Structure 1
Amino acid sequence: MDRTRFFVRVSAIYALIGAFMGSHMAGGGGYQLSAIHAHILVVGWLSLFAFAIFYKMFSIPKTSKLASFHVWSSFIGVFGLTVGMWLYYTQPFGGLGVFNTLFFIVGGTILLFAFISFAILVFVQGKHISEA
């Protein structure tokens, strides 16, 4: 899998969702979903795009299990956090409060593990990170 292409494409989808959401909020004058909008843009667009740049700039081996864990936990975590936030704050399906809360917490926790794995990856694969 081309990690750079994957992250750029997924981040582009989050950028579109975030832009449409912001446009809708601005046009409607309601800012109730601004926290969700911000998380979609920050963790969905900016973080995933930054990860794409990282994998493009530095020759992290494609066989790295830690890198694979980072990629998939980032993808699943961003989805889980943002969808979980939406479910938690909007409660679109009445009576699923516990499910919505758990979806939010599990998504955020997976994303936290993704960021932890990235920090570890930077040090474990440090020999591949240089200016030259």
Structure 2
Amino acid sequence: MDRTRFFVRVASIYALIGAFLGSHMAGGGGLQLSAIHAHILVVGWLSLFAFAIYYRVFNIPKESKLSKVHVWSSFFGVLGLTAGMWLYYTQPIEGMRAFNTVFFIVGGTVLLIAFVVFAIMAFVHGKHISEDAQ
């Protein structure tokens, strides 16, 4: 899998959703979804795009198990956090409050794991992270 392409494509979807949600709030005059909008843009668009740049700029081995864990935990963490946040704040289905809360918490926890794995990778694959030409 091309990690850079994957992250850029997924980030572009979050950018589109975030921009649409921002336009919707601006047009409707309500800011009830501003926390969701901000998280979609920050963790969905900016973080995933930054991860794409990381994999493009630095020669992190494709067979790295840490890299695989990072990519998939980032993907599912962002999805879980943002969808869970939307479910939690909007409560679109009656009687699902506990499920929505758990969805939100699990998504955020998986995303936290992704960031921990990223920090670990910065040290494990540190020899690949340099200003010098590789």
| TM-score, with length taken from structure 1 | 0.99
| Structural mapping, 1:52-91, within 5 Å | 52-91=52-91
Distance (whole Å) between structure 2 residues aligned to residue 79 and residue 93 of structure 1? 19
C-alpha deviations, 1:42-95, integer Å up to 9, x for none? 000000000000000000000000000000000000000000000000000110
Counterpart position of 1:4: 4
Q: Give the total of aligned pairs.
A: 132
Distance (whole Å) between structure 2 residues aligned to residue 22 and residue 108 of structure 1? 22
Distance (whole Å) between structure 1 residues aligned to residue 41 and residue 94 of structure 2? 27
The RMSD of aligned alpha carbons is 0.3
Counterpart position of 1:51: 51
Distance (whole Å) between structure 1 residues aligned to residue 94 and residue 69 of structure 2? 34
Residue identity matched to 1:76:
F
How high is the sequence identity, in percent, across the aligned residues? Answer: 78
Counterpart position of 1:13: 13
Helix, strand or coil at the partner of 2:113: helix
| TM-score, with length taken from structure 2 | 0.98
Regions of 4+ moved over 3 Å:
none
- Residue 95 of structure 1 pairs with residue 95 of structure 2: yes
Structure 1 unaligned blocks of 5 or more:
none
- Residue 131 of structure 1 pairs with residue 131 of structure 2: yes
Structure 2 unaligned blocks of 5 or more:
none
Distance (whole Å) between structure 2 residues aligned to residue 130 and residue 29 of structure 1? 47
